[in-house]
Amino acid sequence: MKIKPSKKRPIKHVSKGFALIATITLMMLLALLSVGLLTIASSQVRISEKQLFAAEAKSLARFSLEVSLGQLQCELGPDQRVSANSGILSSGTSEGSSPYILGAWNSWDTWLNRNNSSGMSIASTYDTGRSSMFRRWLISDPDLRRLSTLEAGKNLLGQKSNSNRSSRSVCLLGPGTAGTPVGARNQDKKEIHVRPVRVDDSSKNTGLKKNANTRKYIAWWITPENQKARINLMPHASQESTDTLTVLRSTWDTPGPDLDTLNMTSLMSESSSDDSSAARKLISRDTLLANS
């Protein structure tokens, strides 16, 4: 029996550790992908929460507008109602009061409707402030009894308050809107600060657990357009017109501003002193502040 010599197979040299490096690399990629997905998910959650709060704030603003319009219609809807600002009160310009709070009064209607009227005589309507005919102040406040008293228009109604959370006020009319620089004289009287009213929370019923523990408030204030002076409203130049309807319509316009009273005559050239279009471009809140 012949024995063939065995041939030794060549040993292949394989580099060790490649599988370990590949595994670690894949794990790092998976970890990086997981962190990226988690970051994107958390950012989307924050964005959705901000959108939720923004949508809720807009809905509360619309609700506040509806409440103010409802109060306006309720108090001043009938023809037998009279409106005036708190500045007409005897102490309406005293320290700590605001003269720009709109109030509603009943008019004397005994002569018109004897069966349903209050039965007051004409002499009883001449008392100071017409307290017996006063209805309420058209501004938001948690204390409704406070709004139904005439004296509230003299005592800190509409003024800034930082005493505690229940009576803290929010600014609805600030220096930028009122046109008064910060630190100006009587600046506080021209600003309007309102105490917000808490509304019922329906988040628990709708499943919005994120907002279930937050408190919702609304604040509103009604300012009358019929008690404002339009500084930039110029009359139409209809003197040259012969049309009857055009001349009649010109009498409906609010009289234009007096440039002498506003100390702005010096800014108008002699050629444009009678030009209403030039005055319309000139008069603004900034120019009034510069010439005051």
Residues 200 and 254 in one domain: no
Kindly state whether residue 13 falls inside one of the protein's structural domains.
no
Kindly state whether residue 235 falls inside one of the protein's structural domains.
no
Residues 145 and 286 in one domain: no
Sheet strands (E) in the chain: 81-85, 102-106, 134-137, 170-173, 192-194, 197-198, 217-218
Residues 273 and 183 in one domain: no
Kindly state whether residue 203 falls inside one of the protein's structural domains.
yes
Residues 161 and 285 in one domain: no
Kindly state whether residue 6 falls inside one of the protein's structural domains.
no
Kindly state whether residue 171 falls inside one of the protein's structural domains.
yes
Parallel, antiparallel or unpaired: strands 102-106 and 81-85: antiparallel
Residues 132 and 276 in one domain: no
Residues 131 and 268 in one domain: no
Residues 125 and 163 in one domain: yes
Structural domain span for residue 285: 244-291
Kindly state whether residue 17 falls inside one of the protein's structural domains.
no
Per-residue pLDDT at 66 = 94
End of a domain among 196, 227, 258?
Answer: 227
Decide: pTM greater than 0.85: no
**Whole-angstrom Cα distance, residue 257 to residue 241?**
22
Helices (H), 235-284: 244-250, 276-282
Residues 172 and 75 in one domain: yes
Residues 172 and 268 in one domain: no
Per-residue pLDDT at 127 = 76
Q: How many domains does the chain have?
A: 2
Kindly state whether residue 14 falls inside one of the protein's structural domains.
no
Residues 214 and 116 in one domain: yes
Kindly state whether residue 263 falls inside one of the protein's structural domains.
yes
Residues 214 and 261 in one domain: no
Residue 235, both tokens: 């009359």
Per-residue pLDDT at 122 = 73
Residues 76 and 212 in one domain: yes
Helix (H) or strand (E) holding 20: helix 18-76
**Whole-angstrom Cα distance, residue 1 to residue 22?**
52
Q: Nearest CA to 72 among 213, 175, 224, 178?
A: 224
Write out the chain's pLDDT in tens, 292 residues: 566 666 666 666 556 667 778 888 889 889 998 888 888 888 888 888 888 888 888 999 999 999 999 999 999 988 888 898 888 885 544 455 678 889 999 887 766 665 555 666 777 777 777 888 889 999 998 888 888 888 887 777 777 776 666 568 888 888 777 666 666 666 667 788 888 898 876 555 554 555 555 788 999 999 887 777 666 555 555 455 667 766 666 655 555 666 666 666 666 655 555 555 666 666 666 666 666 6
